[in-house]
Amino acid sequence: MDGKHQYNIDIIEGNEEADCDVRNNGLSKEIDYKIDDVPPWYVCFILSFQHYLTMLGGTVSYPYIIAPHLCIPDDDPSRGYLISSTFFVSGICTFLQTTFGVRLPIVQGSCFTFIVPILAILHLPQWECPKVSPNATLSMEEAAEIWMPRMREIQGAIIGAAVVETVIGLTGMIGFLLNWITPLAIVPTISLVGLSLFAEAAHSASGHWGISLFTMLLMILFSQCLRDIAVPHPKYSSKSGWIVGRFPVFKLFPVLLTILVSWALCILLTSIDVFESGNPARTDIRISVLVNSPWFRIPYPGQWGVPSFTSGAILGMLAGTLASIIESVGDYYACARLSGADAPPKHAINRGIFIEGISCVIAGLFGTASAVTSFSENIGAIGITKVASRRVIQYGALLMIMFGMLGKFGAAFVTIPEPIIGGIFCVMFSMITAVGLSTLHFVDLNSSRNLFVLGFSLFMGMCVPKWIQANPEVIRTGHELTDQIFIILLSTNMLVGGFIGFTLDNLIPGTDKERGLLKWRTQVTISACSPKSCSNSYDVPLITNFLREKNIFRYLPISPSYEEGRIWNSFLRWKNNVRNEEPNTIVI
């Protein structure tokens, strides 16, 4: 799963230097490699490979959901190309984020938040997969004529929504958005991502419920029962020599271990013909994908053709974009906290969202069928391994790019039996739902007002899209494009539920404490140490001094020299000069 979690990061006001120390809370002393540290290159590769493995499960899972809705045949090598392209783009975007963006050791990868609006687009009548006779075989060229136009539609939607995200980061609008989006709007938005995908999980698992249940049990065993058990291994320390270290393998790699064990079982059962021919649990069904895939293939922009842009698809994709922005802000604070670093300043937050928007544009151009966002699994890995070096994640980005160019590497994952993926989905989607519901700890659940807003938004978020998808002909405005916009918007569970929750929570009277706004604002307040009192870890390499020398860049929200109140104060001075009044200022 893309693993979006909510973190309660307390921002304390007062003396700036004391603020930095309190935010770090002594965590910097526990970190083996801090953000700006540069371990030896061989250490970087070992540690980066660990981060690569951590994000492997969620990255591989995403193409399994989207490929059938794009109408890509099961035995088409293009499925492997899609996985390889996803790794390749994740590597590029991770490098951009760690080098020029928020500059925290944070990994970028495919986001399940976008899967709901994407499926809403692909469920439109014109994009439904054509019925093909079971005995018919399509050539790769014939199959491409079917699925590539669908991919180009998704590419255009992602790029269009990403442009909005880029503008939000560039203009510093994040603080304004967070003032209006409340916990009772976040809960249905995130929870409905998992709830609305139950049909996808059930369909994949139904191929062989025995294998799916075995996969679920392994996932529960590794991620919950054995998570606190560390495996002993030899470890060398410069101070004490060779010692016995303990590695939390089950906590770090539950998805990967589950896939490998279940996959090995299916290989064994296939080799002794326990599964009949054609059974989805067999591992040789898609072996032709591996055989026909090239050893080396470099993904490139426009590899599926020129993206197509429709306003309805772009508007539908904006729901996932806004949810991703809010969650990424929480991830930035969590990553800084676990890394023992200063809380990210405003310019770093703005720049992080700005680069994330550019990264989504790149993902759309390459055709990964998903936008990118921060991976919370890797943030948790930092807290466990005590390695927060930015350079390690940059090496990890290079590994992603390298593996993304190995065609057979991506094709190998296509041969994973579908029931295994179905079992993984059942656990992952339930966790996404739970992560959304976890935001409820901010609000008063003894309030009948809050219970009504929560229940109604969740129920209608499931009810309305289900009815619209079954009866798209009821939308008749007389204009085809307008009909398409309404169908996509009303078919997107997270958008419908989030909009209802947002509207009701801001209209129905309630105290800030009752609505959970007091605790919520504490978490998402964008404040941090000033550049004078804290480290320069968030400065943009090579150009920071230039940006600080030029006064004009103090107005740019993504610049390290950004002063938030300067634009407003300049406006007030201009207004007062026009009126010949005494100048006023505002302190932010």
- Amino acid 19: pLDDT: 45
Residue corresponding to tokens 């969650």? 327
Comparing CA positions, the residue from 379, 329, 248, 375 lying closest to residue 521 is 329
Residue corresponding to tokens 């807290």? 383
- Amino acid 5: pLDDT: 45
What angle in degrees, to the nearest 10, is found between the helix axes of 311-339 and 517-524?
A: 80
Length of the chain: 588
Cα–Cα distance between 202 and 179 in angstroms, integer? 38
Does residue 278 come out as left (phi exceeding 0), alpha (psi in the -120 to 50 range) or beta?
left
Judging by DSSP bridges, how do beta strands 372-374 and 108-110 pair with one another?
antiparallel
- Amino acid 380: pLDDT: 65
Identify whether the C-beta of residue 355 lies closer than 8 Å to the C-beta of residue 100. yes
Cα–Cα distance between 170 and 191 in angstroms, integer? 29
Amino acid (1-letter code) at residue 296 = F
Q: How does pLDDT run across 88-110, given as a tens digit for each residue?
A: 999 999 999 999 999 998 889 88
Low-confidence ranges of the chain (pLDDT < 70): 1-30, 50, 53-54, 57-58, 132-137, 236-239, 241, 252, 376-377, 380-381, 383-385, 523-535, 564-588
The first and second tokens of residue 562, run together, are: 């950004």
- Amino acid 468: pLDDT: 86
- Amino acid 141: pLDDT: 79
Cα–Cα distance between 55 and 86 in angstroms, integer? 12
Amino acid (1-letter code) at residue 539 = D
* DSSP letter for each residue of 432-464: HHHHHHGGGGGS-TT-HHHHHHHHHHHHHHHHH
Residue corresponding to tokens 């995908």? 197
Q: How does pLDDT run across 403-417, given as a tens digit for each residue?
A: 889 888 777 777 888
Determine whether 526 is exposed, middle or buried from the number of CB atoms within 10 Å of its CB (0-12, 13-18, 19+).
buried
Q: How does pLDDT run across 284-298, given as a tens digit for each residue?
A: 877 877 777 788 889
3 state SS of 154 = helix
Q: What is the pTM of this model?
A: 0.76
Write out the H or E segment, with its range, that includes residue 235: strand 231-237
